[in-house]
Chain A
Amino acid sequence: MNPSSVLDSTSLILLLAFSVSVLGLFVFIWSMSNGFFNTKESGSHIIFEKNEIGLVEDPAADQHNKELQQASGDTDASLSAAELKDRQIADNSSAKPAFICLLASMFWLIIGSAAAIISSIKLHNPDWLVDSAWLTFGRLRTIHLNSVVYGWASMAGIGVSLWLVPRLLKTPLVGAKFVYWGAIIWHLALMCGVTAIGLGYTDGMEWLEMPWEIDVFIVIGGALMGLPLFLTLANRKVDHLYVSVWYIGAALIWFPILFFVANIPSLHFGVQGAAMNWWYGHNALGLWFTPIGLGAAYYFIPKVLGRPIYSYNLSLLGFWCLAFFYSQVGGHHLIGGPLPTWMVTLSIVQSVMMVIPVLAVAVNHHMTVGGNFKAVLHSPTLRFIVLGSMLYVAASVQGSMEALRSVNVITHFTHYTVAHAHLGMYGFFTMVMFGSIYFIMPRIVGWEWPHAWMISAHFWLATIGFAVYFIGLSIGGWLQGEYMLDAAKPFIDSVIVTLPYLKLRSVGGGLMVLGHIIFVVHFILISLRYGHKKDPSLLIPKVNIPFIKDAKIASEELKVE
């Protein structure tokens, strides 16, 4: 290759890649225009029955949803007994598979949190617990990452998705037994993977540490758990696919492909491995967790409020933009590194373009909740999900900024990035999952959450804890970056300056862990149907008096087991 042809080809490739993606985006939007620009926004009504709009629903709220309903305005909307029964049959069909996934996610939430808090303390007490190799920081923080990513977040995400599918498609879940097998395989594989990391067997790349021999089973387990969505789609009764189906469906297609390509042994090498590593790492967030989190938020926010999403077309536009732009941002993890310039630049450009789908979500969610923020006070589900959705916007805008070279030169290689990663995975995704689980569990077990105070305690511990964590670590990380760029200061200064903030992170993290313990205990209590047996009608939305009797009968039939 002679020099001038290289110059031409690199800029050409950059231009080409960018044009192809933008062009592709418009082709898709155009091809779908019949599908959604002409549906007169009725797509957003698909998650409601004929006369349901205006009716609130949050099984986690107190007092028959009365206060929540008052906050949202009085209504004479109602469900007919037949509609209610259909919904209960749908809920029933996903109850067990969803429960199994959620139960597994609780286990990993505890393991992941324990590993997290010990790792955090180790960073300011480096001589604590140093006698065993598996407890060393490098292994424990990796156990933390893999437990929360593949255990807590993935299992919760799959559980919530599976529970949503029958409601979104108004069709009972088909193929629940695939989920049982998939969940067992995934769970056992993950246990082996985390143990392997503790013992020092690792593939060596961030987010991809589990040995590939184990990864094979993660792919199989993931594919089995995703299968019922597609089997149910084939039998769907609903005419239109609600936006959440697009998000969740795409995520379930993307994840096994991502994970498979990233773990092919002996294919990736050297610097190319780094490019692939962050292609995977960011897509795990962008094409797996983000669509699931947004899919859940797009269902629960309107459902709890009894109010369709503000702009349905905007939500679909947001989906395709997210898919196109987010899937190419991975290179921004390698700014200033020995990577091809065009690749890093492409990722920076796409990172900035992410502002478009993020604004679509921000406007949509804000306008849906807007004017009814009082409802957030009365709905535990909404409280978590609205917070999560706001932090999604914050995390994404922050991410776009961090991809700019002038900002990245400071934040790269520092705790600032760690704080940012947690804003996405915790502030956004985990909060949305918490809220979703509060909604779903009473429906799964036919029982109310035993203690409202435990939900409040969980919310405030998680929120305050995370605020302390995030603000502290962001300041510490920024200072670390400033010090690191100042060659007049010895490197150790960039370490010492972070110490108070690392301690603050342990304090915030400790509160978060406490919140998780309360949450998991509460989860166990509701699963055991702890407390007084409550009138099952409390678990169904407020219905007009004539239907109450029928509704009760229907909900008796709902009983799992």
Chain B
Amino acid sequence: MHTHIDEKKLVVGALVIIAISILALVIMPYVQLKPIKAPDALKPYTDLQAKGRQVYMSLGCVYCHSQQPRDPKFASADEKRGWGRASTAADYAYDDVHLLGTMRTGPDLLNIGARQPSQDWHLGHLYQPRAYMPGSIMPAYPFLFIERKGEAKLGDVVVNLPPAYKKPGITIVATTDAVNLVEYLKSLDRTYPIKKSIAESLATDKPADAAK
């Protein structure tokens, strides 16, 4: 019979390794980030905005849009494009599921609400992105809209497309999902000045070190 000492090494070794890994990348960030409070200027999502955020997640917007402008000292173009200052952990205080994203097939959206506050623009752009941004490869989302023959009814949110994209006799009406999604997009505004307390700035990734 074997003493099975190798098995013990395998199991213990594997467990120790994963414990260290959980400690370093899950527990320690948890302990460090948990006490961070939302900035005063940041408001919790309203009901509609929260619903819109669910639509954003459900359609997988995060796979093409990040929500994390980088520090100008690291990647200066982010700020120059008007995407906003480098975000800090506090900016995400109300995000129960993070949507930081890892891809920029499209632009960063953390401050899209500040850049583009128009509901009309957002709705039309969701219906047909190329009507607003020639060359865009964002999918069109016609299923978020209803094509209604004739005039709009009372309470309809009508989409005002640019003239070239209008179909005669057809009114494009936004669904609740589309309206909520736009509510969420318009709420994305972290342009308020952040209190750069030393504690907080140290708690975030400082690419300034990196440049060295």
Contacts and interface: CB of A to CB of B under 8 A. Distances in A.
A and B part of one assembly: yes
A269 B95 CA distance: 7
Nearest to A253: B14
Interface string B88-110: 11011111111111111111000
Given A274-B100, A327-B20, A327-B21, A338 B28 contact: no
Interface in A334-352: 334-341, 343-347
Interface string A215-233: 0000000000000001001
A341 B204 contact: yes
Contact of A138 (B2, B25, B60, B202): B60
Contacts, number: 283
A6 B203 contact: yes
B69 to A, nearest CB: 9
Q: Which of B61, B63, B66 has the most CB of A within 10 A?
A: B63
B2 A239 contact: yes
Interface stretch (A61-69, A425-433, A484-492, A527-535): A484-492
A248 to B, nearest CB: 10
B14 A130 contact: no
B153 interface: no
A484 B18 contact: no
A320 B207 contact: no
Nearest to B11: A253
A409 interface: yes
Contact of B74 (A200, A409, A414): A409
B96 A270 contact: yes
Contact of A271 (B6, B15, B98): B98
Contacts of B22: 261, 279
Contact of A276 (B25, B70, B202, B205): B25
14 contacts: A21-B24, A126-B140, A137-B64, A233-B4, A270-B33, A270-B96, A271-B100, A275-B29, A283-B21, A328-B21, A413-B102, A415-B105, A417-B103, A492-B134
A331 B25 contact: yes
A495 interface: yes
A337 B100 contact: yes
Contact of A338 (B58, B74, B91, B209): B91
A420 to B, nearest CB: 12
B80 A487 contact: yes
B119 interface: no
Contact of A3 (B20, B91, B198): B198
A32 interface: yes
Contacts of A485: 75-77
A278 B102 CA distance: 10
B9 interface: yes
Contacts of A258: 18
Contact of A341 (B86, B129, B206): B206
Contacts of B14: 249-250, 253-254, 323
A13 B28 contact: yes
A271 B89 contact: yes
B10 A250 contact: yes
Contacts of A205: 97-98
A240 B4 CA distance: 10
Contact of B59 (A20, A136, A234, A261): A136
B98 A328 contact: no
A273 to B, nearest CB: 4
A213 to B, nearest CB: 15
Contacts of A405: 74, 207, 210-211
Interface residues of B, number: 90
B143 interface: yes
Contacts of B9: 31-32, 35
Contacts of A17: 20, 23-24, 28
A17 B7 CA distance: 27
Interface in A307-360: 320, 323-324, 327-328, 330-331, 333-341, 343-347
B185 interface: no
Nearest to B60: A138
A21 B20 contact: yes
Contacts of A436: none
Contact of A340 (B33, B107, B140): B33
B98 A10 contact: no
B51 to A, nearest CB: 13
A270 B143 contact: no
A184 to B, nearest CB: 27
Interface residues of A, number: 108
A283 B22 CA distance: 11
Contacts of B143: 130-133, 136
A552 interface: no
A368 interface: no
Given A1-B199, A487-B77, A204 B59 contact: no
Interface in A376-412: 405-406, 409, 412
Contact of B96 (A7, A132, A269): A269
B30 interface: yes
A130 B139 contact: yes
A133 B59 contact: yes
Nearest to B5: A35
A187 interface: no
Contacts of A7: 202
A537 interface: no
Contacts of B81: 487, 491
Interface string B49-90: 000000001111111101010110011110011000011110
A241 B33 contact: no
B139 A122 contact: yes
Interface in A108-162: 122-124, 126-127, 130-133, 136-139, 141-142
Interface in B184-212: 198-199, 202-207, 209-211
A202 B57 contact: yes
B44 interface: no
B43 to A, nearest CB: 15
B133 interface: yes
